[in-house]
Amino acid sequence: MPITTGRPYLAIPGPSVSPDRVLNAMHRTAPNIYEGEIVEMTKALIPDLKRVAMTSQNVAIYIANGHGAWEAANLNMFSRGDKALLAATGRFGHGWAEAARAMGVQLEMIDFGKASPADPERIADALRRDPGHEIKAVLVTHVDTASSARNDIKAIRSAIDSTGHPALLAVDAIASLGCDELRMDEWGIDVLVGASQKGLMLPPGLGFVWFSDKALEVSRSADLVTPYWDWKPRGTGTEFWQYFGGTAPTHHLYGLRESLTMILDEEGLENVWDRHRRLAGSVWAAFDAWGIESSIRLNVADTASRGWSVTAATIPDGGAGALRRWLEAEAGVTLGIGLGMALPHEPAYQDFLRVAHMGHVNAHMTLGVLATMEAGMQALGIVHGPGALEAAAGALVG
Ligand SMILES: *Cc1c(COP(=O)(O)O)cnc(C)c1O
């Protein structure tokens, strides 16, 4: 008999686990959207939404997922025919590029592959080859959820600055916001894209675009924008309905209020980052041990270039697929598929998986996933090194 009775655990990199408190805050009747409590609550929510991105500049909220937030960012930054430079470090970088291209942006891509961070110097070189400043923005994914590679945004900003090129720096932080260290203003990010269902611990449904005053200036002449997606009224409007281009996402706002209180006022943002760093470390330690005298490998070799919210790995000979299926059917744990590593019909597709440690996760949840993976490897006869659970526990203790 499977041992699945009990609370199931969806350990995929989004949607993440929503705290009961967040879900309970959303479980209520709709408020009056014209005056009263929701209007006041939202006014107070905006500064906290800026705090979570560590910016004092602007934010726009969209009723959208991450793909919607990408489009919002593109529409406000670009005019048809504008050039953009994209540094791809996994499937999500390519996704953003495809969206921009389809919208009429001329995209130059530097593809850093599926297991490495972007090299800031190559970004700078590409900008130096653009003396006429035709490139309007550099697009980069902070943590690419497919590869789990993390880019050094600060170093990319310095590299851009070293060229004197005025391009905006736009960062997809959908997988890292509320998990990994991220400092919009200090790191010189102009446009930051986020979504509700990852580190912010809400159900899918809200997309966010934070934008600098410089990006706001650029957007005044960008001609792709349409009224609904325009970040100007959303970010700088005075009427409540302008924040949302219509009816507010009322219930998500109550949930967001609760999650921001948990992150900012109760645990503290830096403690949230530290929790994710330590949980990631225990996952990496387990994989390192499993990899002894086996071909199990973490996707990103360099510790400093790994995201803290998700880990991509290889278990060869179809082991990753078999293990995922065993965990779901036998143990109540759902791991993430390997994304963008191979096509679904290719045998290699079954060699990749991802473990999420994103958002509302603690030690027992992550150690529980690792222990359940160990059980699955034993049950399936997957060749793996010894000592993974001791290593994971040890890494957590520090
Ligand atoms: C999840 C994710 C997206 C896509 O978000 P959707 O809500 O699925 O549209 C884009 N970029 C990154 C880095 C992500 O993690």
Q: Are strands 58-63 and 352-356 parallel, antiparallel or unpaired?
A: unpaired
Fold for 24-266, please state it: Aspartate Aminotransferase; domain 2 (3.40.640)
Predicted TM-score of the model (pTM): 0.98
C-alpha of 62 from chain center: 16
Confidence check: pLDDT of 86 > 90: yes
User: Crossing angle of helices 319-326/363-380, nearest 10°?
Assistant: 120
Q: Which of 63, 92, 179 has most ligand 1 atoms within 8 Å of its beta carbon, as the pocket-test mutant? A: 92
pLDDT of amino acid 398 = 75
In this structure, the number of other CB atoms found within 10 A of the CB of residue 382 comes to 22
Q: Which residues pair with 84 in a beta bridge?
A: 107, 137
* pLDDT average, residue stretch 350-376: 98
How close is the Cα of 66 to the center of ligand 1, in Å?
5
141 Cβ closer than 6 Å to some ligand 1 atom:
yes
CA distance 214 to 220: 10
Q: Which residues pair with 9 in a beta bridge?
A: 333
CA dihedral 342, 344, 348, 350 (to 10 degrees): 120
Q: Which residues pair with 354 in a beta bridge?
A: 312, 336
How close is the Cα of 219 to the center of ligand 1, in Å?
23
179 Cβ closer than 6 Å to some ligand 1 atom:
no
Mean pLDDT, the chain, rounded, equals 97
Percent of the chain with pLDDT over 70: 100
Would you call 307 exposed, middle or buried from its count of C-beta atoms within 10 A (0-12, 13-18, 19+)? buried
How close is the Cα of 163 to the center of ligand 1, in Å?
30
User: Crossing angle of helices 388-397/269-290, nearest 10°?
Assistant: 160
Q: Tell me the two tokens of residue 244.
A: 């949302």
Question: Binning pLDDT at 50, 70 and 90, where does residue 259 land?
Answer: very high
354 carries a ligand binding annotation? yes
Residue nearest to atom 4 of ligand 1 (CA): 66
CA distance 81 to 64: 25
pLDDT of amino acid 1 = 87
Q: Tell me the two tokens of residue 295.
A: 């071909």
Matching CATH number, 9-16+268-397, of 3.30.160.270, 3.40.50.1820, 3.90.1150.10, 1.10.287.70: 3.90.1150.10
Q: What is the pLDDT of residues 52-83, one digit of tens each?
A: 999 999 999 999 999 999 999 999 999 999 99
Residue nearest to atom 8 of ligand 1 (CA): 66
* pLDDT average, residue stretch 238-267: 97
Distances (CA, A) of 156 to 92, 132, 186, 385: 18, 20, 13, 37
* pLDDT average, residue stretch 132-144: 98
Q: What is the pLDDT of residues 293-334, one digit of tens each?
A: 999 999 999 999 999 999 999 999 999 999 999 999 999 999
Residue with tokens 């890292």: 176
Domain ranges of the chain: 9-16+268-397, 24-266
